[in-house]
Amino acid sequence: MKLSTKGRYGLRAILDLAVHAGGGHVPINLIAERQDISVSYLEHLFSLLRKAGLVRSVKGAQGGYMLGCPADRMRVGDVLRALEGELSLVENDLESAPEADTLSRCIRKMVWEPVDLSINRLVDRITLEELAEEKRAIDGLIEPMYHI
C-alpha cells in the first residue's frame, strides 16, 4: 500500500489545523503557506474531510476551517480513510478468483489480512491530539512526556 498525496498532504493539513486552531478557525491560505501545498488542492482535500465530518468550514472574510470534533477523538485512520478509502495492501479479488486458486486464498489469509489488520489497528490507535503533542514537543513548545 502506498498512500497518495491526498492521504499524506491531507494528514499534514489537518494536523496543522489541530496545532494552530486553538479552538477557533484557521484560514486555508495559512495552512497552504505553512505546508507548501496549493490552496486549490487543499480546498479539494478539505472538501473530502468536510464530507466525512472531520472539519467544518466558516465562510466569509474572516473564515477558515476548524476541526469537526475534538482532536483527542479524531484518529489518523479516520483521516486517511476519508481521503484514501479503505486501507488495504491488495484488492479484495477473491470473489473473482477460481475456486481452485488455493494459493491466493492461502496468501491472503496468512499474509495480506494480518498486515491489513496491523496497519488499521495502528492508524486507529493514534489520535490527532497525540500527533499535535508530538509536533509541539519536537518544536520545543512542550516538555516531552514519558510513560512507563
CATH number for the domain whose boundaries are 5-87+127-138? 1.10.10.10
Q: What helix, strand, coil percent values describe the chain, rounded to 5?
A: 60, 5, 35
48-81: per-residue pLDDT in tens?
999 999 999 988 877 899 999 999 999 999 999 9
Q: How confident is the model at residue 147 (pLDDT cuts 50, 70, 90)?
A: low
Q: Are 120 and 106 in contact (CB under 8 A)?
A: no
88-116: per-residue pLDDT in tens?
888 766 555 566 588 888 988 999 999 99
pTM metric for this prediction = 0.84
Q: How confident is the model at residue 6 (pLDDT cuts 50, 70, 90)?
A: very high
Q: Domain ranges for the chain, please list them.
A: 5-87+127-138
